[in-house]
Amino acid sequence: MKKEIKFSLLYRDMWQSSGKYVPTVEQLTEVAPAIIDMGCFARVETNGGGFEQINLLFGENPNKAVRDWTQPFNDAGIQTHMLERGLNGIRMTPVPADVRRLMFQVKKKQGTDIARSFDGLNDPRNLKNSIEYAKEAGMISQAALSLTVSPVHTVEYYTDLADTLIEMGADEICIKDMAGVGRPATIGKIIKNIKQKHAAIPVTYHGHAGPGFQMASILEAAYAGAEYIDVGMEPLSWGTGHADLLAVQSMLKDAGFKVPDINMKAYMKVRSLTQKFMDDFLGYYIDPKNRLMNSLLIGPGLPGGMMGSLMADLENNLSSLNRWKVKNGQPELTQDDLLVKLFDEVTYVWPKVGFPPLVTPYSQYVKNLALMNVLQLEKGKERWSMIADNIWDMILGKSGKLPGEPAVEILEMAKQQGRAFYNSNPQEHYPDQLDQFRAEMKQHNWPLGEDDEELFELAMHPEQYRAYKSGEAKKAFEADLAKKKAEKNTTTAPAAPATETVSNGNNFQPKTMVVNVDNEEFVVNISYPDADNGAVQAAETAVTTQKTAAPASNGRVKEVISPLEGKFFLTKDSSETALKVGDSLKAGDLVGYIESMKTYNAITAEESGKVVEICFANGDSVDEDDVLIKIQ
């Protein structure tokens, strides 16, 4: 009898591995019936990871999105699964135990059948609660092994980890090859070992296509005994995404496995709708390079799930770096130049910080640390001059035990800065907080929601939920989308005779311009750096002066400068007290954070004094070299 292989469609991860956003709830519910009609999926990945944060960024209620999106699959008998990050839940930072417990209860009631739980450090202590809470809520607990390639990540290492997670009560095991760098033969050996000892435990293989191993890895996984294979489909397969359904089905069928047939009419419908969503707006957030496979990824081992946002991060940092280079008379870099430098630095940094598996959030931490090093080195500064607090928490053991030992230079730096290492259970560092968030909801007269789901959202994503409730998230997203559409579609119309101009020496330059965006015409005001106090420039100056004008004071005013671009925050969580005008600072005191690339970079004062001005509001975007704080 032929061995049966079942397929799971990664409709969430397909998007997240390609770009920044996922479809809206209206788009998701439009495509769901066609996915069901394809008739070949036993499971569909519907939520988890960054899914709900993205809903909030849209100004969309994530609880409605999950309920409406999972319902058609529940009705059709197709299992739904979510991805959660153990100690970090479905965000980038650690989550209190009471919030984690509520997450599983809410997600089960919203229609999610399976919780795929992974820990970025493969620390079983961080997965123990996930397994317990998932089963308590009535979900299937699928524990994931975060696969990577290093001297410490051996076949025996992963076999022992699977044994431990199964003993803790995991119902299933997932081989999470998040970067696609797992070697096919090794993957086969790990799965074979698991199946020999735990024959009744279902095994799923999840991989990414980027480096080029994935088809061979899928075949090895199937031969070794895996029951489920995660797949993507066009137009979002391959590249930084996943192997394509059609290719996987044909390959396994030819190899003698029993695989489901595919309703090709429905397949073309899903394909067409997915492309329509890209054309609508999602394509503006997908870098074309993410559609390509690249064996350079074998070296740094960066996961496909973060490559979608990586290119956007690089674009922003490259722009900032090149401004600095022009100002200092140095040649500019291309994006490819910076990408190669980043890959090389990741390869250098990764062993130094103890070989954390390169999966969220630790892939971002290692990448961000490497990128900060590259930016500092390009400016003639030293490595390690900017290590975000999140990264220190990883190095010090506050997030779990590293697989390897940090380098001597990192240990010495921690000692010099008075940083303590931790060996205790990571969950102990993050006390329960639900009562605190209940009080906040009562204060604002916000409803707790069905099954306390709104309370859960605030507790899991405090900043994003507040921005959603205020309407600021939706406005910011719509403004960003309008900007991207304008950049792509704007064409300059012939100047009308009545167009105003400003004089700049012997040249006459337009003061206004008519532009066409999606067949709508707009009059755009233009200012020039050397222009003589035109009305537009005067208005801009007035706004800036109003925002940054410092109170009258005696003595030298000292400035705290932003070392990078990002969003400025006075605090990163509710346990901290925000700096205010009038506070006294000593050299080395914390003044705030720059949130960049999903990490909070602590900004400290270099000199002592009293705060006379805070130049940006909480959450404001800042550029490198902006003045954040003025002290006297």
Q: Give pLDDT tens digits for 387-403.
A: 888 889 889 998 899 99
Give the mean model confidence (pLDDT) for residues 20-48.
96
pLDDT of residue 555: 63
pLDDT confidence tier of residue 580, bands split at 50, 70 and 90: confident
The distance from CA 25 to its chain's CA centroid, rounded to whole angstroms, is 20
CATH, domain range 6-287: 3.20.20.70
Sorted by where each begins, the domain ranges of the chain are 6-287, 295-429, 490-546, 553-631
Regarding predicted confidence, which is higher, 359 or 133? 133
Closest to 467 in 3D by CA, of 117, 6, 59: 59
Six-digit token pair at 510? 């337009």
The predicted-structure confidence for 509-523, as pLDDT tens digits, reads as follows: 444 444 444 444 344
pLDDT confidence tier of residue 292, bands split at 50, 70 and 90: confident
Regarding predicted confidence, which is higher, 450 or 601? 450
The distance from CA 305 to its chain's CA centroid, rounded to whole angstroms, is 8
For the ranges 273-277, 399-403, 519-523, 585-589, the one whose mean pLDDT is highest: 273-277
Regarding predicted confidence, which is higher, 360 or 590? 590
| Fold assignment, 295-429 | Cyclin A; domain 1 (1.10.472)
d(CA 52, CA 65): 8
pLDDT of residue 566: 81
Contact partners, residue 272, CB within 8 Å, separation at least 6: none
pLDDT of residue 485: 87
Checking if the pLDDT of 450 tops 50, the result is: yes
Closest to 450 in 3D by CA, of 25, 64, 29, 55: 64
pLDDT confidence tier of residue 260, bands split at 50, 70 and 90: very high
pLDDT confidence tier of residue 19, bands split at 50, 70 and 90: confident
Instruction: Return mean pLDDT, the chain.
Output: 85
Give the mean model confidence (pLDDT) for residues 437-460.
97
Burial grade of 114 (CB within 10 A; 0-12, 13-18, 19 or more):
buried
Neighbours of 588 (CB within 10 A): 11
Checking if the pLDDT of 574 tops 70, the result is: no
Q: What is the pTM of this model?
A: 0.77
pLDDT of residue 390: 82
pLDDT confidence tier of residue 589, bands split at 50, 70 and 90: confident
| Fold assignment, 553-631 | OB fold (Dihydrolipoamide Acetyltransferase, E2P) (2.40.50)
